Amino acid sequence: MANKGKKRQKNKSLAAKVSFVTIIGMLIIGFVGLMVGLLVYVRTLINENNRDLLYVAVTAKSFLKDDPAFDGMAKEVMAVYDSMTEEERAKTGTEAYRERFAKITESEIYRESFDLLMRFRLLNALDNIYFVIYDKDSSSLVHIIDTDRMDELGFKTGEWEYIKKRDIEELLSIREIPCYLHRSADNHLLFTTGICFPVIDDETLGFILTDYVMDDMHYDVLMFLTRFMVAIVIVMIIFGLLFSRYLKRRLVKPINEIASAAGSYGEKTAFGEAGEGCFSSLDIHTDDEVEILADVMKQMEENIGAYVKKLTEMTAREERAKAELDTAAQIQKAALPDVSGAYTDRNDFDIYATMEPAKVVGGDFYDFFLVDDDHLCVIIADVSDKGMPAALFMMSVQAVIRNNAMMGKSPADVLTDTNSAIRSNNKLEMFVTVWLGILELSTGLLTYANAGHEPVAIQRGNGEFEFVKGQKKPAIGIWQGMKYLEQEIALLPGDKVFLYTDGVTEAQNDKEEFFGGEHLLKTLNSRNTGLSKDIVENVRNGISSFIGDAEQYDDITMLCLKYNSFNG
């Protein structure tokens, strides 16, 4: 099987194809050369035979014209011919027709003329030589003496045959060898050549004609074909070998060198090695497209080498950047409260939150901490940008808000002071929406301020979640001197507060449809009992089912606070 595969591959090689094309080309050239040579040879052979026959006709004419009685005999034949009606002439070839010319054919001058032409025929091995007179009125050749008269298919004295005017014009042409091609009575292809001269009077034309049968050329043509084919085969073999050798040296060998270089290049690069030197070491000087191909491959090797070097550097930079982003993500995650073990010793509230950045790091954040034993601060925020700038801005805002809240300030004062601090050094003109609430655990009173953030959803007891419509001021970082307002909500044991960023409501599926506030409430109310973690995870699953395989374009942050009981 392996040998068969190698044989098939060898048959498909460029060298094999070059040899095959060379053989086919030589066969075509040889066949065309043979046909052209055969045509030239046959034409030359015909011309030579016609020239010989014309010479015989001219010689025979000179002998016949020397005898004064010859014209008289011809005149007698034409007189009998002219005396016949068309009906009588139509009986040419019959015994009755031939009887009309019996007296002439028995004359001495006829026998002498016939013997003269017969000698020319025999001496020159002619198919036929004969003397005819052209009758212009009927466009016919009237046979006076025909050496073929012993043949039943031959014409006898006085008999006539129709001749085309075109053939007469050929015989009367001024060409070197006047002749015309026609078929004999026994269906042989004949070349007829002869000499024209006036007889009887100046208006009557006579012809000494000779016939040459094409069948007689068969042997000469066969011998020519044999010799010419042998010569062509020898020339084809020599030329084919030289041409194939030339093509292999100028085409196959350079291409094999390029292919070998390409293989070496592929093997080296496959194992992570540099492919330099594979193509640059080629020494191809063919002054054609193959040399251009080699130069292109050398340039390709150089370009790929430069690209790989640049790509390696870029990859190293990207890996460093990714490592830095991963570190930043870990730092950002560390800045957020750990929800897994947050306030497990407290039973008066239950809190849970998640933040999923659209990129490695995000601009959203949540925070919750005890200002004192009776006050829980809850924060959720969304920076206007994404990525590393937003993450850095988010961490600075988070630190400022936490510091102000830990000083015991009210929610409105915390946001007002934070806005003043951020706005005083906000060169990037970034802003952040913030919802900040402080829950008095002993009474359930939730005091909050809203700086351009989404409205919260609240569930009373075992009822359904509903959005709380309240006033909200512009986001932090937009206007200097902004004063924020406070609002209050009285929570009872079992009430829940759900906070979120716009990444939740603006999550899109592959149809570019938004998750929206209505869908959020529907999802919240589909499972509105249980711990805060259950509420958050239920919404996250709902968002995942809604967007499917669509890309997440914004950070998704959620926080749920459940108030359990009055403390004291």
User: What is the overall mean pLDDT for the chain?
Assistant: 82
Give yes or no: residues 300 and 403 share one domain.
no
Q: Which residues contact 514 (CB under 8 A, 6 or more apart)?
A: 505, 506, 507, 508
Model pLDDT for residues 198-250, shown as the tens digit of each residue: 887 777 888 888 887 776 666 666 777 777 777 777 877 887 777 777 776 77
Q: Number of C-alpha atoms within 13 angstroms, CB side, residue 359? A: 15
Number of domains present in the structure of the chain: 3
In terms of DSSP bridges, do strands 128-135 and 205-213 run parallel, antiparallel, or are they unpaired? antiparallel
Question: CA gyration radius for the chain?
Answer: 59
pTM over 0.75: no
Q: Which residues contact 226 (CB under 8 A, 6 or more apart)?
A: none
Domain for residue 229, yes or no? Answer: no
Query: What torsion, rounded to 10 degrees, do the Cα atoms 445, 451, 455, 458 define?
Result: -20
Give yes or no: residues 540 and 394 share one domain.
yes
Give yes or no: residues 349 and 437 share one domain.
yes
pLDDT for 483 equals: 94
Tell whether the model's pLDDT for residue 2 goes beyond 60. no
Q: Which of the listed ranges 10-14, 109-113, 279-283, 451-455 does the model predict with the highest average pLDDT?
A: 451-455
Model pLDDT for residues 285-327, shown as the tens digit of each residue: 777 777 777 777 777 777 777 777 777 777 677 676 565 556 5
Model pLDDT for residues 50-107, shown as the tens digit of each residue: 788 778 888 888 888 767 788 888 889 988 998 999 898 888 888 889 899 989 888 8
**Residue burial 452-471, b: 16+ Cβ < 10 Å; e: rest:** bbbbbbbbeeeeebeeeeee
Give yes or no: residues 123 and 190 share one domain.
yes
Give yes or no: residues 426 and 531 share one domain.
yes
Instruction: Classify 489 as helix, strand or coil.
Output: strand
Domain limit, last residue, from 317, 335, 353: 335
Domain for residue 327, yes or no? Answer: yes
Give yes or no: residues 496 and 441 share one domain.
yes
Domain for residue 2, yes or no? Answer: no
Tokens of 256: 């094999």
CATH number of residue 84's parent domain: 3.30.450.20
**Residue of higher predicted confidence among 161 and 4:** 161
Instruction: Say how many residues make up the chain.
Output: 568
- Domain extent, residue 540, equals 337-563
Give yes or no: residues 324 and 355 share one domain.
no
Give yes or no: residues 290 and 426 share one domain.
no
Please choose, from the candidates 133, 184, 192, the residue with its C-alpha nearest in 3D space to the C-alpha of residue 158. 133
pLDDT for 533 equals: 93
Give yes or no: residues 316 and 199 share one domain.
no
CA angle 103, 106, 111 (to 5 degrees): 140
Give yes or no: residues 82 and 144 share one domain.
yes
Tell whether the model's pLDDT for residue 7 goes beyond 60. no
Model pLDDT for residues 150-162, shown as the tens digit of each residue: 556 678 888 998 8
Task: Give the integer Cα–Cα distance in Å for 131 and 141.
Answer: 9
Q: Which of the listed ranges 31-40, 130-139, 340-349 does the model predict with the highest average pLDDT?
A: 130-139
Confidence of residue 568 (pLDDT cuts 50, 70, 90): very low
Confidence of residue 500 (pLDDT cuts 50, 70, 90): very high
Please choose, from the candidates 410, 405, 411, 421, the residue with its C-alpha nearest in 3D space to the C-alpha of residue 477. 421
Which helix (H) or strand (E) segment is 130 a member of? strand 128-135
Phi-psi region for residue 195, left (φ > 0), alpha (ψ -120 to 50) or beta?
Answer: beta
pLDDT for 185 equals: 65
Please provide residue 205's backbone torsions phi and psi, each rounded to the nearest 5 degrees: -105, 135
CA angle 443, 446, 449 (to 5 degrees): 155
Give yes or no: residues 359 and 308 share one domain.
no
Tell whether the model's pLDDT for residue 401 goes beyond 90. yes
Arithmetic mean of pLDDT, 103-116: 89
Model pLDDT for residues 132-147, shown as the tens digit of each residue: 899 888 889 999 998 8
* 87-91 contacts at long range (C-beta below 8 A, 24 or more positions apart): 89/138, 89/160
Tell whether the model's pLDDT for residue 334 goes beyond 70. no
Give yes or no: residues 311 and 392 share one domain.
no
pLDDT for 466 equals: 95
Arithmetic mean of pLDDT, 250-267: 71
pLDDT for 338 equals: 81
